[in-house]
Structure 1
Amino acid sequence: METTDWNHATHIAKDELPPAITTYLAAQHARDLDVAMAYYTDTSTVIDDGRTYTGRREIRDWLAQSSSEYTYTIDLIAAAKIDDRRYDAVHHLEGDFPGGTVDLHFRFHLDNDKITTLVIEP
């Protein structure tokens, strides 16, 4: 997997994120798995909480599990762009998960308006 130096990202307005990302995030937050899954390919990868999920089946299972494990609010607080394929959408979460509050980077790699890689990390 290619590495990205996110320290060289350019801050952008939240509404400058590509529609593929904003629509995906809205679907993920609404727990609409069918719409969210439309943005992944058979070879997409998600890395979250130290675990890697590859392909539609693993990613769908991850989405279903992660959306029901805790109750939380999530707010998009910042966005950044490396290039036309790589974006960072920073979210603030508050809820009943360990620690109760966290800011997470949702780091997207896109190809033809599909998510090839999503890395979620503090």
Structure 2
Amino acid sequence: MHDNQPRTSTPDTLPEVITRYLTAHRAHDTATAITAFAHEATVIDDGNTYEGTQAIGEWLDRSAAEFTYTIHLTDAQQTDATHYIATHHLEGNFPGGAVDLRYQFTLRDGLIERLAIEP
């Protein structure tokens, strides 16, 4: 296998920092979720960009309050040493009712430096 080929990971092989974020996010535990991010991290979701842990915390609180939904991890891949993609299936009371989203993580120094969420 070449080092530049995507590797399929099982959810239990994702780095601890990603698992910590995903578990806390599902539990609406913003205080724990934010510990997974670098101080100057960036999150891109639904066409909006959130810079820094304060803005990310506000985004997490808002997204937890805005809609009720279930989220299930359906696939996980490591694309290189610092990039991971976790695909989730969401169902709930948001427009459309169901969607598959790719959570694209970039890690640096053991923390999430960038997270882009898109279909």
Give TM-score, length-normalised by structure 2: 0.92
Over aligned residues, Cα RMSD in angstroms? 1.0
**1:46 aligned residue:** 43
**1:3 aligned residue:** none
Question: How many Å apart are 1:9 and its aligned residue?
Answer: 2.7
Q: Does 1:119 pair with 2:90?
A: no
**Post-superposition CA distance 1:68-99 (Å, at most 9, x none):** 10000000010011122100000000000000
Q: Secondary structure at the match of 1:119?
A: strand
**1:89 aligned residue:** 86
Question: How far, CA to CA, are the matches of 2:94 and 2:6 in structure 1?
Answer: 29
Question: How far, CA to CA, are the matches of 1:24 and 1:73 in structure 2?
Answer: 16
Aligned match of 2:22 in 10, 20, 25?
Answer: 25
- Could you tell me which runs of 5 or more consecutive residues in structure 1 were left unpaired when the two chains were aligned: 1-7
Question: How far, CA to CA, are the matches of 2:6 and 2:60 in structure 1?
Answer: 27
Question: How many Å apart are 1:13 and its aligned residue?
Answer: 1.6
Paired residues in the alignment total 115
Aligned match of 2:99 in 93, 97, 102?
Answer: 102
The percent identity for this pair of structures is 46
Q: Secondary structure at the match of 2:33?
A: helix
**2:64 aligned residue:** 67
Question: How many Å apart are 1:42 and its aligned residue?
Answer: 2.1
**1:5 aligned residue:** none
Question: How far, CA to CA, are the matches of 1:59 and 1:121 in structure 2?
Answer: 16
